[in-house]
Amino acid sequence: MLFCVTMINFVDRQTLSVTAPKLREIFSLSNTQYGIIVAAFQMGMVLGEFPMGWLMDRRGARSGLTFAVLWWSIANALHAVATSLLHFSFFRFWLGTGECGNFSGGNKVVSQWFPVRERAFAVGIFNSASMIGSAVAPFLIVPLMHWYGWRVAFLVPSTMGLVWAGVWYLFYRAPEDHKGLTAAEAAYIRDGEPPTAGPMPTNAQLLRLRPTWGLMLCRLLVGPVVQFYIYWMPEYLYRARGFSLTDIAFFAWIPFLFGDLGSIGGGWASGFLIRRGYSVRSARMMTMGFGATLCFLSLAVVLVKTVPVALIAICCVLFGHTAVSANMFAAISDIFPSSAVARVTGLTGIASGLSGMAFPLLTGMLVDRISYTPVFAMASLMPAAGLLILFALAGRFKQVPLQVSP
């Protein structure tokens, strides 16, 4: 279910980028104006992250995720009535306030249902759907746009979200509410961890902790890279590499397939290392370090002369980025109890949203005034910088003791 909703989430996000070449022609939008629309989505993410995280921790992932998916599906459907820069910006903002709940809710579910050694793999599986959703989107959206027009291309993914929300609310239960959960299964999930039930730690407590800031700053630097590839890769291939929309549908999915493999492989690799006796910190560091190294190939995308080699570089970057991402999200549940996981995920999402809001604006201005080269250069360095900050501030990747108040 988490895999499916994450795939729907990223199909919704990609609908704009896939339709962007035609929408920009219809509504005469410049690169800078397109950057404003993308930034509006990120602003919505910034303002929605913490409320959504609070909702997941306070009301649980069953009600929280149901509300989030209904909320963003309505926003995505309303893109079909947009006719101006202002309309698209407003609906993207609304979409962002809901879609941020996907990861705070998903991460909370993983922290409740999986032991530490399996969490990165579980996160990797549902996070891999972000790449599959991005890969599927051109195959779904381009035919819909050709056959029925760009407005229908926004309505179909929204309907998928509404259906998912109904199924989730009917069937999902937290472990403590699941009547079929045995004592042995509950012990396996906890795997020697201290019980995390009880009053929640305060927001002020969370913000006073160095690991909180390490995770926030890491996601602030890591997050915009994959967003850049999701939102700008079709535009880059269309305008800088001479791809048609049909070419984009046939070829742009390939890098996202490698992103999918990186998410699952990165999650599996750290779990494998933990099972072989490596500490959680060492396993995360080795896996994320390998991923961040691959991200250096972002600069090669614009420097190589042939399209196939550029696509190979993009594939390597997305493989490495998602390996970093899966372990970064798992690190939140390594360090914090379940009662705080969704809020800390939300705090990291705020940081990612701030940089994600600024980066599209900067991208639009740099592409209009210079070229894509400085943007890809920045994307090559940011994951490694985020990783260094995380390991400097996160300590031993052991669950932090928190004093809770009723």
Residue-wise pLDDT for 348-377, tens only, equals 888 887 887 788 778 878 877 888 888 899
**50 or 313: which leads in pLDDT:** 313
- Whether 199 shows a pLDDT value over 70: the answer reads no
Q: Which of 110-119, 145-154, 161-170, 205-214 has the highest mean pLDDT?
A: 161-170
Tell me which of 336 and 6 has the higher pLDDT: 6
Taking each continuous run of H as one helix and of E as one strand, the counts in the chain are 17, 0
Residue 15, pLDDT > 80, answer yes
pLDDT at 240 > cutoff 80: no
104 close to 208: Cβ distance less than 8 angstroms: no
Query: Is residue 406 over pLDDT 70?
Result: no
- Give the chain's mean pLDDT: 84
Task: Please state, in angstroms and as integers, the Cα–Cα distance from residue 212 to each residue in 44, 109, 339, following that order.
Answer: 22, 19, 14
The pTM assigned to this predicted structure is 0.71
Q: What is the CATH number of domain 2-169+202-393?
A: 1.20.1250.20
pLDDT at 192 over 60: no
200 falls in which pLDDT band (50, 70, 90)? low
Beta strands in 227-351 (DSSP E): none
Share of the chain above pLDDT 70, in %: 94
Q: Examine the pLDDT at 404 and tell me if it is beyond 80.
A: no
Tell the burial category of 369 from Cβ atoms under 10 Å away from its Cβ (0-12, 13-18, 19+). Answer: exposed
Domain range list for the chain:
2-169+202-393
Q: Report whether pLDDT(225) > 90.
A: no
Residue 402 has pLDDT above 80, yes or no: no
| Lowest-pLDDT choice from 79-93, 288-302, 374-388 | 79-93
* Mean pLDDT score, 68-91: 89
Weakest-pLDDT range from 115-119, 208-212, 326-330: 115-119
Q: What are phi and psi of 367, to 5 degrees?
A: -65, -40
What confidence tier does 52 reach under pLDDT thresholds 50, 70, 90?
confident
Residues 6+ apart with CB under 8 A from 24: 30, 34
Q: Please, what's the b/e burial string for 7-18 (b: 16 or more CB within 10 A of its CB; e: otherwise)? A: bbbbbbbbbbbb
Query: Would you say how long the chain is, in residues?
Result: 406
317 vs 302: CA distance, rounded Å: 13
Residue 216 above 90 pLDDT? yes
**Torsion over CA: 242, 152, 230, 85 (sign):** positive
Q: In this structure, are residues 216 and 350 in contact, taking their beta carbons and an 8 Å threshold? A: yes
Handedness of CA 126, 130, 131, 136 (dihedral sign): positive
- The answer for residues whose C-beta is within 8 angstroms of residue 22's C-beta and 6 or more apart is 145, 150, 245
